[in-house]
């Protein structure tokens, strides 16, 4: 009541000094009725006293969210700190370890770009203020369940947005949001390897804190003589969004996606309960968290994953540049057809990068429990095709290692991940590549994409069919297109480090256009939600497929008030981001 009176009075003042539009008034009314979340500056936004009280509750672990570009702004911007921010602006690491800033170039946007502050030479593009944009306003450095409970309670009672930020790798941008309180899980790094016992699985497992990253997980498992499925990128959050959205990586072809290996989640629900979700307890929540979309059902504190006995791993890589498009795309088709064979070899996976100008790079193929000669044998039919086309690789190397993590470190070394790229993807069904009459339609899409000089595409092949992985349809809500896919096609467009919001909007439109083109040639396919755009027209069918309705039920059961909200989370369309960044109920 009093909150709404306060807003009413503020609005009146606003009307006198400026021109408050009708939509402002409507937004204010909506906030009063609990239909919109408060934003900083609203009279209903928690007072400093309330934030201080929250800070006491969480033992001083509350952090004010500061955009990384901040040193370039203010009444006395710091020139040397600003040039340092400019230097690191396209690097991922500073954004990964930050409590609120995110890797996604699109979602971080230019609202506090280090290139447009008061020190910048170009008056036309100069911004005087660093605005918070989509960067969360506050974060709690979560160390235990009590801090997460305090966070969800505070967000609920004060009608503000809540989200979980782990590494900030998220491509659809689900770890950022205007006016949000972020639960920052990055520092929950615990891990234990133990023997898990249940009706459905008894064997070795890793219980890992939500903040554990891919390489950290590989190392923990290796130290105990195990290997475990996790992502290709060493810094992705293995205990966070990676597993909740599916999770592919170099061992998927043997053990499946991350979501195929889950045993248990320790969570805090948005009503403040500290629960275990497994096949025995809170089954529906366990099911949804195993691939049904990140950051939407509960706050995860730890996850328990199956691990597997380690052993020798063979690897191979190959790079060529073929400027003649005819030959290049023939070679690309030959590689895709060769995948029809290698994907039937247990434990074989391959990750390939395609760049404009005829660059083809098999970053590495992985063959578990195989020798150098085995992997060479599997690749030889493709080598012959390259020979026949007169293509000579500039890199062609095969090497075996005694354990998986040694293989991984060797072949991953030197990979540089930059932020200035907008990404989308499509799962490519085996049936399309097997059909010579259909393959040219796919090649035309690749030709289109690679004609853009700032494009990149990836062909990530691993067989995650139910037969291979050892589970059945519906065991988890991973998009079923994964099971028949020969490979995941990722693609992106790079932007200049100084890209403006409008340019980033255009890049996003380009990538959505590519997702549509791939969709047209793969009507039976789908997309991998964790690496797709947040606003694709066909998100519901193409990111969730047949599991959508069931996931929505779980969402409504565990978070009926949509305390957690993200796009394209299941049910997110009941809410909408308005032009001013305000999150409001649609109906």
Residues that bind ligand FAD (CB under 6 A): 103, 163-171, 174-175, 185, 210, 231-233, 236-237, 240-242, 244-245, 247-249, 294-295, 299-300, 417, 530-531, 566
Tell me, by CB under 6 A, how many residues bind ligand NAG: 34
Least Å distance, CB 580 to ligand FAD, is 23
For the window 301-340, what string marks contact with ligand NAG as x by the rule CB under 6 A? ----------------------------------------
Least Å distance, CB 84 to ligand NAG, is 5
For the window 547-576, what string marks contact with ligand NAG as x by the rule CB under 6 A? ------------------------------
Tokens of 118: 């008061």
Task: Using the CB atoms, write b or e for 435-466: b if 16+ within 10 Å.
Answer: eeeebeebeebbeebbeeeebbbbbbbbbbbb
Nearer CB in complex with ligand FAD: 151/240? 240
Nearer CB in complex with ligand NAG: 110/484? 484
433 burial type by CB count under 10 A (0-12 exposed, 13-18 middle, 19+ buried): buried
* Residue nearest ligand NAG, CB atom distance: 60
CA–CA gap between residue 109 and residue 111 (Å, rounded): 6
26 burial type by CB count under 10 A (0-12 exposed, 13-18 middle, 19+ buried): middle
Least Å distance, CB 176 to ligand FAD, is 8
Helices 48-57 and 145-158, packing angle to 10 deg: 160
Nearer CB in complex with ligand FAD: 390/414? 414
Q: Which of ligand NAG, ligand FAD, none sits in contact with 524, Cβ below 5 to 8 A by type?
A: none
Q: Which of ligand NAG, ligand FAD, none sits in contact with 84, Cβ below 5 to 8 A by type?
A: ligand NAG
CA–CA gap between residue 192 and residue 178 (Å, rounded): 36
Q: State which of residues 337, 430, 466, 557 lies at the interface with ligand NAG (CB under 6 A).
A: 430
128 interacts with ligand NAG by CB under 6 A: yes
Least Å distance, CB 301 to ligand NAG, is 21
CA–CA gap between residue 167 and residue 237 (Å, rounded): 6
Nearer CB in complex with ligand NAG: 130/193? 130
CA–CA gap between residue 395 and residue 397 (Å, rounded): 6
CA–CA gap between residue 42 and residue 176 (Å, rounded): 20
Q: Which residue, 90, 72, 81, 176, is CA-closest to 130?
A: 72
> Which residues, other chains included, contact 326 with Cβ-Cβ below 8 Å and sequence gap of 6+?
none
Least Å distance, CB 5 to ligand NAG, is 25
Q: State which of residues 60, 323, 390, 414 lies at the interface with ligand NAG (CB under 6 A).
A: 60
The position carrying tokens 């393959």 is: 439
Q: Which of ligand FAD, ligand NAG, none sits in contact with 526, Cβ below 5 to 8 A by type?
A: none
Least Å distance, CB 296 to ligand NAG, is 26
Least Å distance, CB 465 to ligand NAG, is 4
CA–CA gap between residue 149 and residue 424 (Å, rounded): 34
Tokens of 331: 């070679």
Least Å distance, CB 382 to ligand FAD, is 23
H or E, element range at 412: helix 404-412
> Which residues, other chains included, contact 542 with Cβ-Cβ below 8 Å and sequence gap of 6+?
479, 519, 525, 526, 527, 536
186 burial type by CB count under 10 A (0-12 exposed, 13-18 middle, 19+ buried): buried
Q: Which of ligand FAD, ligand NAG, none sits in contact with 81, Cβ below 5 to 8 A by type?
A: ligand NAG
Alpha carbon separation from 540 to 107, 258, 289, 528, 534 (Å, rounded): 21, 22, 17, 12, 11
Q: Which of ligand FAD, ligand NAG, none sits in contact with 498, Cβ below 5 to 8 A by type?
A: none
Least Å distance, CB 142 to ligand FAD, is 8
Q: Which residue, 175, 98, 93, 110, is CA-closest to 495?
A: 110
Nearer CB in complex with ligand NAG: 49/323? 49
The position carrying tokens 């909150």 is: 3
CA–CA gap between residue 568 and residue 107 (Å, rounded): 14
Nearer CB in complex with ligand NAG: 33/394? 394
Q: Which of ligand NAG, ligand FAD, none sits in contact with 165, Cβ below 5 to 8 A by type?
A: ligand FAD
Residues in the chain, total: 587
Restricting to residues 344-403, name those near ligand NAG by CB under 6 A: 344, 376, 383, 386, 393, 396, 398
How, if at all, do strands 180-184 and 161-165 pair?
Answer: parallel
511 interacts with ligand NAG by CB under 6 A: no
The position carrying tokens 């789908």 is: 526
Restricting to residues 481-510, name those near ligand NAG by CB under 6 A: 484-486, 494-497
Residues contributing to the site for ligand NAG (CB under 6 A) = 55, 60, 62-64, 78, 80-81, 84, 90, 128-129, 343-344, 376, 383, 386, 393, 396, 398, 418, 420, 430, 454, 463, 465, 468, 484-486, 494-497
């Amino acid at each position: 009541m009093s909150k709404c009176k306060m807003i009413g009075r503020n609005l009146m003042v606003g009307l006198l000094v400026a021109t408050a539009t009708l939509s402002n008034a409507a937004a204010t009314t909506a906030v009063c009725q609990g239909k919109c979340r408060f934003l900083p500056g609203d009279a209903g936004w928690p007072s400093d006293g309330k934030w201080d009280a929250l800070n006491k509750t969480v033992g001083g672990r509350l952090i004010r969210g500061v955009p990384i570009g901040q040193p370039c702004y203010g009444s006395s911007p710091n020139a040397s700190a600003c040039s340092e921010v400019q230097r690191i602006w396209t690097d991922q690491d500073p954004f990964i370890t930050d409590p609120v800033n995110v890797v996604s170039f699109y979602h971080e946007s230019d609202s506090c770009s280090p290139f447009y502050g008061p020190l910048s030479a170009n008056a036309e593009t100069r911004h005087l203020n660093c605005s918070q944009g989509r960067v969360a306003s506050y974060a709690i450095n979560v160390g235990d369940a009590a801090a997460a409970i305090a966070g969800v309670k505070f967000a609920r009672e004060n009608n503000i947005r809540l989200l979980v930020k782990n590494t900030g790798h998220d491509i659809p941008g689900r770890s950022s949001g205007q006016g949000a309180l972020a639960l920052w899980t990055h520092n929950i790094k615990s891990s234990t390897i133990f023997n898990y016992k249940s009706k459905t699985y008894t064997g070795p497992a890793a219980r890992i804190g939500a903040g554990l990253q891919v390489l950290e997980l590989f190392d923990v498992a290796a130290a105990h003589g195990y290997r475990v499925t996790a992502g290709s990128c060493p810094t992705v959050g293995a205990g966070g969004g990676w597993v909740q959205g599916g999770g592919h990586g170099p061992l998927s072809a043997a053990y499946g996606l991350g979501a195929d290996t889950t045993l248990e989640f320790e969570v805090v629900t948005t009503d403040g309960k500290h629960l275990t979700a497994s096949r025995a307890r809170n089954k529906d929540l366990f099911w949804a968290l195993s691939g049904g979309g990140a950051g939407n059902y509960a706050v995860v504190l730890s996850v328990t994953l199956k691990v597997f006995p380690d052993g020798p791993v063979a690897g191979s890589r190959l790079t060529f540049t073929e400027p003649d498009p005819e030959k290049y795309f023939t070679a690309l088709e030959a590689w895709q057809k060769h995948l029809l064979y290698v994907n039937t070899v247990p434990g074989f996976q391959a990750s390939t990068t395609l760049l404009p100008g005829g660059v083809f790079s098999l970053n590495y193929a992985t063959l578990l429990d195989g020798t150098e000669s085995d992997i060479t044998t599997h690749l030889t039919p493709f080598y012959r095709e390259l020979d026949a086309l007169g293509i000579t690789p500039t890199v062609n190397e095969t090497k075996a290692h005694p354990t998986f993590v040694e293989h991984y470190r060797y072949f991953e070394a030197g990979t540089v991940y930059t932020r200035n790229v907008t990404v989308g993807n499509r799962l490519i069904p085996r049936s399309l590549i097997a059909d010579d009459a259909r393959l040219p339609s796919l090649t035309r899409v690749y030709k289109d994409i690679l004609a853009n000089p700032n494009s990149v595409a990836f062909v990530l092949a691993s067989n995650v069919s139910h037969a291979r992985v050892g589970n059945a349809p519906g065991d988890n809500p991973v998009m079923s297109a994964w099971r028949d896919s020969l490979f995941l096609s990722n693609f992106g467009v790079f932007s200049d480090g100084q890209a403006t919001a409008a340019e980033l909007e255009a890049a996003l439109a380009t990538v959505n256009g590519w997702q549509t083109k791939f969709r047209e040639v793969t009507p039976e396919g789908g997309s991998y939600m964790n690496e797709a755009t947040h606003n694709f027209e066909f998100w519901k069918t193409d990111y969730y497929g047949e599991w959508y309705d069931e996931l929505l039920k779980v969402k409504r059961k565990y978070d009926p008030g949509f305390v957690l909200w993200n796009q394209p989370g299941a049910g997110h369309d009941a809410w909408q981001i308005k032009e001013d960044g305000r999150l409001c109920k649609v109906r």
